[in-house]
Chains A and B, each alone.
Chain A
C-alpha cells in the first residue's frame, strides 16, 4: 500500500520554498498502515497512491494570502481533485480538514483551539490536542459529522458521498496512538 502525503510548505529564504513532513506523521502512518510506503507530493503530477493524506501546517489563503499558502493550496486542490476522481480515500488533518470543509461550503470562523480540549465522539467525551486558529462553525448535508468540540465546532467529519475524512486535531502528535483515532480511520477509510 502506498500513501501520498501533501506536505507543509515553508519559506526558507525569500522566495525559496521547501516541503516539510513531520517525522511523527511518518511514524504514525507506519504504525497504522502496516507494510506501507509513503510518497511526498511536492509537484502536480500523477501518482498511484492508495490513500491521500492532506497534512497539517500552513493556512488557507483566505486567512493569510502569501506565496507559501498559495503553493500549498494549489497542491491541495490538485491532489484533492485527483483523489476524488479516482475514488482514493483522503485523510485531511487540521489545515487539510479546513481545506475540505471550505470545499464543502461549510462556514469557517476565526477562533483559537490551542492545547488539549474535549470532543464528543461516539457517546464519549475524549481529550484531544489541537493547534489551529480557525474552526468549522456550520456545515451542511454534504458533511456527516463525527465529532464536535465543546464549543460546538466540528472537529471531525466525513464527506457524505466520498471516503474523505477531516480531523481537526493531530492524531500523529500523541506519544502513543489513541484507540479512537484508529477506530475512526478503520471505520471511515479502511472499510
Chain B
C-alpha cells in the first residue's frame, strides 16, 4: 500500500496485533468555513482527552519527510470548546500556504502509558535493517520525539538466537504486521505501550533514506555471525591473564574512539597501533611498576572499529608486586563492575580500577573491596599502590629527558638527506622509543596528578572553585599557544605549532601550517593580560601520601600536567613529519594524499628492510586499492560502543550517558556542530564535535563559549584543556545525547549542578 497522508494511513490500516486509537479526519478548509459543525462533531464523538495533529500535504511524502515541522497538541479536553477552537486554529496556522487538501485529525489519547517512543526499521548510523526503538518510560509520550535527555534506545537485529526484550515483543509483532500490510519496509512509527502491555500505534510514516545510503546487503546477519564467533573465542579463559572472560569498549584506557574515531582509515589505525597500542603501551606500564603484558596488543578491531580488550587492559593495571590470589580477585571484581555499568567505559581508571594512591584510596578500598579482599590483603594492596606512586615519581625525570631527545632526533632526521621511506622508518622508531613511550609515562603521571587533585576535591579538602583555580594557574603548552597567537609573528607561530592537526593521525586533515587561514584566519591580535593567576594548594593538603613534602607533591602534580601536554605536543610532530614524508613520496609517484590514507604503515616500514621482486609502487597501489575496498565495506557496519557478549550485537541497548561536566560555570548559547569539511565562520557558541584530540586546540583561540564532545572522558585531553581554561564543557556525551544536542538550536549548560537543557 502506498502511504497517503499520515492521518489517512492510520484510518485505513487495520491491525490485529496493535491498536490504533480512534481518530477522525477533518479538512482544514471545512474548519475555516464552519468551525461549529466540526467542534460539535468532536464533542459528540470524543469523551476522554484527545490529541490534535496536523497532516499536511507536504508533511509525509514518500521522498521527503517534514516530520515534526508543524504544531500538534496533546491532552486536549474535547468539552472545552474555547480551548479546542484555539488549538485547532494554531495547528492550522502553523502552515503558511494552506492547500485545499490539507487536513488535521483528532485522536483519542492513550491512557496509562508505560513506555512510549518511536520505532524505525533502520539503524540511522548505517541504515542497516533492524528494529530501532527509541523510547522513554513514563506517561509523557513526547519525550522521544522532542529529543529529551532521558531516552533510551534499543536496536534489534532479527536473528534465531536472541530475542528482543519481553516488553517489546508485542511491539515487534505489530511492526511486522504493519510492514506486511503496508508492503513498505522503511517506516517510522510512533507508539505507546500501556500498563496492560497493549501496543498503540499513534503515527505511521515513511522513513526517508538519503540517496546512496542503502547498503547492498543491508541486514547484518552474516557480519554479526562472523563477529560472534570471534568474540566467543576472545572471551575464553586465557592462561596468561587473570579473569574468566572479557568485554570490549571503544573508550577505555587509550580512548580509540576519541583519538582516531570509530572508523579510522587504515593509515590512522595502523599508526595508532604501531605507535601506541601494539607494544609501547605495555612497555610503559611495566616501566611504571605494573603487570607485564608485553605479549598482548591492547586494541583489537572488528570490521575496522577499534576496541580495547578490557581484560587485557585491567590486567595491565595490576601492580607488578601483587600476588596471584589478590590479582585474580581484583580482576574478577573489576570486570563485574564494568559489565554492570557500561557507561563507565570512558572513566574506568577513576570509577572502576585502583591505579595509584590518592586521598580517597583508603576509603575506596574499605568501601568497594569490602567483600573482595580480607584485611591482610587490603594492606598488601595499599602498599603496592604506594609503590606505584613512588615509581612514577622516579620515572618522570627519565621520561622528560627522552622527550628532549625526540626533538633532537626529529631535527636530525628531518634535516638530513635520507630517502623518504628511510625517514619514515626512523621517525616511527624514534617516535616509539623517545616519544609515545615517555608520553605514556608522563600521561600516567598526569593521571596520578589529576586523581590526587580530584580526591582532594571529593574529600572536600578543596572546593570546586579552588580546584578550577589551581588548574587554571598551570601554564601548559596549549595555554602558551593562545598567548603566542596574540604576541608572535605568524612565521614564528607556525614554526612552533605548525605541525598540529585536528585528528592527529588522519593525513587528509590539514595541519595548522597548511591551513592557518581556516583555523586562525579571522583572529585579531589583542593585547590581553596573559599573566596566569597564582594559586597555591600548600595549605589545603592534609598529608603528604608517599611524597617527601607537600611541596614535592604539588610540584609533581603541576609538572606532570604540564609535561603530559608538552610530550603529546612533541610526539605529534613525529606523526606530522611521517605524513610530510609520505606526501613527498606520494607526489613523486603520483599517489594522492587521499589515497595515502589507505596505506597501512607496516607496508611502508616493510620496504625499509625487505627488498622484493615486485615493483614497489605497483605493490603500494594494489595495497591501497584493496584497503580502500575493505574500508568501504567496513565503514557501513555500525557497532555498539561496548560489547560484553555477542548478544550485544543483535540486541543493542543504549542509554543516555552519565555526563562529564567541566568548569564551574553556567552558560546558554547556540549550538554549532563542527566538522572538518565544514567551513565555519562564526565560532561564538557551544561547539559540538564528535571526537577531539590535541589538534583541535585551535578551537580555543576562536572565542568559543563551550564545548561538547561525543567521545571523551574525565581524563581526556579536552577535559583537561577545558578545565585549565575554565571553559564550560561536557566531554563524552555519547551517541544518543550527541545526536539530540546537534538537532537543537540552543542549550543551557549548568556545569555546577551538572545539568543540560536542550532548547
**A residues at B contact (CB < 8 Å):** 120-121, 123-125, 137-141, 145, 147-148, 150-152, 154
**Cβ 8 A contact of A154, one of B401, B407, B415:** B415
- B412 interface residue, CB < 8 Å from A? yes
Query: Could you give 29 example pairs across A and B, Cβ below 8 Å?
Result: A120-B404, A120-B411, A121-B408, A123-B401, A123-B402, A123-B404, A123-B405, A123-B408, A124-B401, A124-B404, A125-B404, A137-B415, A138-B417, A139-B415, A139-B416, A139-B417, A140-B416, A140-B417, A145-B408, A145-B412, A147-B408, A148-B408, A148-B411, A148-B412, A150-B496, A152-B410, A152-B415, A154-B411, A154-B415
The complex places the Cα of A148 from the Cα of B401 at a distance, in Å, of: 15
- A151 contacts B415, CB within 8 Å? no
Contact with A along B380-419 (1 / 0, CB 8 A): 0000000000000000000001101101101110111100
**Cβ 8 A contact of B414, one of A120, A125, A141, A152:** A152
Chain B residues within an 8 Å CB radius of A139: 415-417
**How many residue pairs, one in A and one in B, have C-beta atoms under 8 Å apart?**
43
Chain A residues within an 8 Å CB radius of B404: 120, 123-125
Known: A123-B404, A138-B417, A152-B414; 5 extra A-B contacts, CB below 8 A, are A120-B405, A123-B408, A138-B415, A148-B415, A154-B411
The complex places the Cα of A139 from the Cα of B415 at a distance, in Å, of: 6
Between B401, B402, B407, B495, the greatest number of chain A beta carbons within 10 A of the residue's beta carbon is seen for: B407
Please give me the residue from chain B that is nearest to A119 by CB atom.
B408
Q: How far is the CB of B495 from chain A (nearest CB, A)?
A: 6
Chain B residues within an 8 Å CB radius of A138: 415-417
Chain B residues within an 8 Å CB radius of A123: 401-402, 404-405, 408
Chain A residues within an 8 Å CB radius of B411: 120, 145, 148, 152, 154
Q: How far is the CB of B435 from chain A (nearest CB, A)?
A: 13
Chain A residues within an 8 Å CB radius of B410: 152
- B401 contacts A151, CB within 8 Å? no
- A148 contacts B417, CB within 8 Å? no
Q: How far is the CB of A161 from chain B (nearest CB, A)?
A: 16
The complex places the Cα of A27 from the Cα of B130 at a distance, in Å, of: 85
4 closest Cβ contacts across the A-B interface? A123-B401, A148-B411, A140-B417, A120-B408
**B residues at A contact (CB < 8 Å):** 401-402, 404-405, 407-408, 410-412, 414-417, 495-496
Please give me the residue from chain B that is nearest to A126 by CB atom.
B404
Chain B residues within an 8 Å CB radius of A141: 416-417
Chain A residues within an 8 Å CB radius of B417: 138-141
* B interface majority secondary structure: helix
The complex places the Cα of A139 from the Cα of B416 at a distance, in Å, of: 5
Chain B residues within an 8 Å CB radius of A137: 415
Supposing A123-B404, A145-B411 touch, asked if A151 and B495 sit within 8 A by C-beta, the answer is: yes
Between A121, A123, A141, A150, the greatest number of chain B beta carbons within 10 A of the residue's beta carbon is seen for: A123
Please give me the residue from chain A that is nearest to B407 by CB atom.
A120
Chain B residues within an 8 Å CB radius of A151: 495
Chain A residues within an 8 Å CB radius of B415: 137-139, 145, 148, 152, 154
Q: How far is the CB of A187 from chain B (nearest CB, A)?
A: 15
The complex places the Cα of A154 from the Cα of B402 at a distance, in Å, of: 19
Q: How far is the CB of A73 from chain B (nearest CB, A)?
A: 25
Please give me the residue from chain B that is nearest to A146 by CB atom.
B408
Q: How far is the CB of A102 from chain B (nearest CB, A)?
A: 15
Q: How far is the CB of B416 from chain A (nearest CB, A)?
A: 6
The complex places the Cα of A152 from the Cα of B411 at a distance, in Å, of: 5
The complex places the Cα of A146 from the Cα of B633 at a distance, in Å, of: 49
Q: How far is the CB of B107 from chain A (nearest CB, A)?
A: 71
Q: How far is the CB of B570 from chain A (nearest CB, A)?
A: 11
Q: How far is the CB of B567 from chain A (nearest CB, A)?
A: 13
Chain B residues within an 8 Å CB radius of A148: 407-408, 411-412, 415
Between B402, B410, B412, the greatest number of chain A beta carbons within 10 A of the residue's beta carbon is seen for: B412
Chain B residues within an 8 Å CB radius of A121: 408
Q: How far is the CB of A69 from chain B (nearest CB, A)?
A: 26
Q: How far is the CB of A120 from chain B (nearest CB, A)?
A: 4
Between B404, B407, B415, B417, the greatest number of chain A beta carbons within 10 A of the residue's beta carbon is seen for: B415
Between A120, A125, A140, A151, the greatest number of chain B beta carbons within 10 A of the residue's beta carbon is seen for: A120
Q: How far is the CB of B459 from chain A (nearest CB, A)?
A: 37
Between B407, B411, B496, the greatest number of chain A beta carbons within 10 A of the residue's beta carbon is seen for: B411
Q: How far is the CB of B319 from chain A (nearest CB, A)?
A: 29
Chain A residues within an 8 Å CB radius of B416: 138-141
Please give me the residue from chain B that is nearest to A147 by CB atom.
B408
Please give me the residue from chain B that is nearest to A145 by CB atom.
B412
Chain B residues within an 8 Å CB radius of A150: 496
Please give me the residue from chain A that is nearest to B412 by CB atom.
A145
Q: How far is the CB of B201 from chain A (nearest CB, A)?
A: 68
Chain A residues within an 8 Å CB radius of B496: 150
The complex places the Cα of A65 from the Cα of B719 at a distance, in Å, of: 57
Q: How far is the CB of B273 from chain A (nearest CB, A)?
A: 27
Please give me the residue from chain A that is nearest to B413 by CB atom.
A145
The complex places the Cα of A151 from the Cα of B492 at a distance, in Å, of: 9
Please give me the residue from chain A that is nearest to B402 by CB atom.
A123
The complex places the Cα of A147 from the Cα of B416 at a distance, in Å, of: 14
The complex places the Cα of A150 from the Cα of B412 at a distance, in Å, of: 12
The complex places the Cα of A152 from the Cα of B580 at a distance, in Å, of: 16
The complex places the Cα of A145 from the Cα of B412 at a distance, in Å, of: 7
Please give me the residue from chain A that is nearest to B400 by CB atom.
A123
Between B410, B416, B417, the greatest number of chain A beta carbons within 10 A of the residue's beta carbon is seen for: B417
Q: How far is the CB of B64 from chain A (nearest CB, A)?
A: 55
Q: How far is the CB of B149 from chain A (nearest CB, A)?
A: 48
The complex places the Cα of A141 from the Cα of B418 at a distance, in Å, of: 8
The complex places the Cα of A138 from the Cα of B416 at a distance, in Å, of: 6
The complex places the Cα of A121 from the Cα of B495 at a distance, in Å, of: 19
Q: How far is the CB of B405 from chain A (nearest CB, A)?
A: 4
Q: How far is the CB of B322 from chain A (nearest CB, A)?
A: 33
Chain A residues within an 8 Å CB radius of B495: 151
The complex places the Cα of A131 from the Cα of B591 at a distance, in Å, of: 44
Chain B residues within an 8 Å CB radius of A154: 411, 415
Please give me the residue from chain A that is nearest to B414 by CB atom.
A152
Chain B residues within an 8 Å CB radius of A145: 408, 411-412, 415
The complex places the Cα of A120 from the Cα of B411 at a distance, in Å, of: 10
Q: How far is the CB of A127 from chain B (nearest CB, A)?
A: 14
The complex places the Cα of A124 from the Cα of B416 at a distance, in Å, of: 21
Q: How far is the CB of B569 from chain A (nearest CB, A)?
A: 13
Please give me the residue from chain B that is nearest to A121 by CB atom.
B408
Q: How far is the CB of A154 from chain B (nearest CB, A)?
A: 7
The complex places the Cα of A145 from the Cα of B409 at a distance, in Å, of: 9
Q: How far is the CB of B128 from chain A (nearest CB, A)?
A: 49
The complex places the Cα of A190 from the Cα of B414 at a distance, in Å, of: 30
Chain A residues within an 8 Å CB radius of B408: 120-121, 123, 145, 147-148
Please give me the residue from chain A that is nearest to B418 by CB atom.
A141
Chain A residues within an 8 Å CB radius of B414: 152
Q: How far is the CB of A22 from chain B (nearest CB, A)?
A: 30
The complex places the Cα of A122 from the Cα of B410 at a distance, in Å, of: 14
The complex places the Cα of A123 from the Cα of B433 at a distance, in Å, of: 13
Q: How far is the CB of B710 from chain A (nearest CB, A)?
A: 36
The complex places the Cα of A150 from the Cα of B405 at a distance, in Å, of: 12
